[in-house]
Chain A
Amino acid sequence: MALISSPLGAPVRAVARIRASVHVKLLAGFLLITLLFIAITAVSLRAVRETARQTDLLDQAQVRVGWSRQIEHALAMQMHFTSMALLAQSEDSVGLILRENNRFNDTLARLETAAPPEERALIQAIRVAQDDAMATVADIANAVRDRRMADAMTALRTRQEPIYQKIETLVGSLVAAEDTRMASLRRSIAAAQARSLRQMAGFAVAAVAVALIAGFVISWSFILPVREFHGFLSQVAEGRFGGSVAVPNRDEFGALAERMNWMSGELRRLDDEQRVAAATLRGLNDRLELASRAKSEFLANMSHELRTPLNAILGFTEIMLDELYGEVPPNLREPLVDIQTNGRHLLRLINDVLDLSKIEAGRLELGVDEYSVQEIVDVVHASLRSLAIEKGLAFSVWVAPDIPPARGDGRRITQCLMNLAGNALKFTRHGRVEIDVRLDEGWLTYRVSDTGIGIPKEEVENIFAEFRQVDTTITREYGGTGLGLSITKRLVEMHGGRIGVESELGRGSRFFFTVPLHADGGPA
């Protein structure tokens, strides 16, 4: 797959190979993303705090500048009051000067406490100058008290004014220093803000990238095996067994792959076994087919081989009984009839066995054509009437008048009805045998009722099996091959119909079979 060979293939495989459950991997992925968000928050907080600190410093510098202005003001006031004292030639202003001096000193003290170390020297210098100024003020005050106005004026002009100018200059440079500091602080704040913005942006981009890659890698470590499984299962669905699926996963998908490979192996094994079995079966089937064909040919040949001498036996017996060889002595007539009876029985057996073997080999085909139900019943009636008369039984037939021409193998239907009616006559000593045919919703029901010996309940279901007569003595007493019902059942089923019997022991039986009015036939 293309992805596997891409640069991300290696981490995808690596994640897949981690021996942890899918649940844990997903949890780790979410945890990683959460941690990234926490880190972004921390970085932002740090930037905000830094900015706040810088702003604080700026505020302090501003306060200090304010104080410096107050100092300047106090100084100006001192000079003003000193001048006033001189002008008024009074000491009254001294108190005001002292008040301003105190204000000056207080403010300077506060400034000194707040000032950064590099400004301490400057403040110290201001204080010294102020002390000088106060000393001069004191001298001036004394001079004014002593009315030495000239001295006072001189002191003011020569000492006091330069000191004040000095102080003014010092305070000016203090203010200038603070201004410089403030400017630098502002720059620093702007720089810090720009920096933290860059940091945060960079961090956010990095976090999003990491989260995307982590999500991609983790999800592909699940998608790849699923795709592999899909391809593999398609193969299996197409019937190509024995392939295997290889995934690097050591999680649930890995376990699933293992099971799939096991399943594939099992399927292959079963498929191979089935193929071998099918081949064996085919071989067996071919051999059975050959054997069956050989059996059928053998039976057909045997049938002919048996029929030829039987034809001679029955033929000679008949022409002897017809006295074509001259009069038959009375004592020989009975054994001749016995030969004839047994010969005919042997013939029926041969016919039935051949029929049954053909049906079982699937080689009996129905000769489907149009046939008349009435004709079939008439043929059966005509064939068996002499037997009924011989046994003193009432033998009647009834066919529903509205039956149209039917489709099926008429000769086989005749054979079926002949079998049932023949049995009925055989197993009935007194009373009657009736044949009736009805048509009901496209189905023909042929029914043969008798007042014969009946069939015990427990034998009813076996009655259609081969060589099943209720009692072997029955064969001897009543004759028959024991194959008639079985053949009849198969022939009826080949017509798509079914056969059944209702019987009461000692009271009689009612056999019936139902076939479609239009049977298409074909092997059952």
Chain B
Amino acid sequence: MRDRTVLHIEDNEYNRKIVRQLLSRTSYRLLEAADGEEGLAVAQRELPDLILMDVQLPKLSGLDATRLLRADPRTAKIPLVVVTSFALSGDDRRAIDAGASAYLAKPYSPRDLMALIHRFLPEN
């Protein structure tokens, strides 16, 4: 059984670095994308086991990318966590409406993110 793959779509290099660091000591395989279009392409090509999707992304917004992934039968079932800007602004509801499995408000605690990843994708 190959390692579980996590796709992290996030335009901020430092935030990608944190997740990279978090997963460096685990068995998860990490894929990264820096904008919505790239994220969509990687997801459809690699079919990861879990997608972490930022809301505000260049080229294609996280919510639009989520809708497109949900419309694609190959990626429709992949667990997808949307990282919202601000839970109270209504992003959370929009994320769920767009088809997200869960949402996480930014700034998030890396511990909470790890817990969420483990929930959707138990380590081998």
Contacts and interface: CB of A to CB of B under 8 A. Distances in A.
Interface of A: 300, 303-304, 307-312, 314-316, 318-319, 322, 324-325, 347, 351, 354-355, 367, 411, 415
Given A308-B106, A312-B14, A315-B110, 6 more contacts: A311-B15, A315-B15, A319-B21, A322-B110, A347-B107, A351-B88
A126 B76 CA distance: 164
Interface SS majority for chain A? helix
Interface centre among A307, A308, A316, A415 (most CB of B within 10 A): A308
A488 to B, nearest CB: 14
Nearest to B13: A312
B115 interface: no
Contact of B18 (A307, A316, A351): A316
A354 B86 contact: yes
A367 B89 CA distance: 11
Contacts of B88: 351, 355, 411, 415
A308 B12 contact: yes
Interface string B14-46: 110110011011000000000000000000000
Nearest to A307: B106
Contacts of A314: 107, 109
Interface residues of B, number: 21
Contacts of B22: 319, 324
Contacts of B85: 300, 303-304, 307
A382 to B, nearest CB: 15
A311 B107 CA distance: 4
Given A312-B12, A312-B18, A354-B86, A304 B111 contact: no
A274 B119 CA distance: 64
Interface string B83-102: 00110110001000000000
B86 A311 contact: no
8 contacts: A312-B15, A314-B107, A315-B110, A318-B111, A319-B22, A324-B24, A325-B21, A354-B89
A324 B85 CA distance: 25
Interface of B: 12, 14-15, 17-18, 21-22, 24-25, 56, 85-86, 88-89, 93, 106-111
Given A304-B85, A325-B21, A411-B88, A318 B110 contact: yes
A303 B89 CA distance: 10
A85 B17 CA distance: 191
Contacts of A367: 93
A319 B110 contact: yes
Contacts of B107: 307, 310-311, 314-315, 347
Contacts of A354: 86, 89
B81 to A, nearest CB: 15
Contacts of A415: 88
Nearest to B89: A300
9 residue pairs, one from A and one from B, having the closest CB atoms: A311-B107, A312-B14, A315-B18, A304-B85, A314-B107, A311-B106, A307-B106, A308-B12, A310-B107
Contacts of B89: 300, 303, 354
Nearest to A411: B88
Contacts of A411: 88
A309 B86 contact: no
Contacts of A304: 56, 85-86
Contacts of A303: 85-86, 89
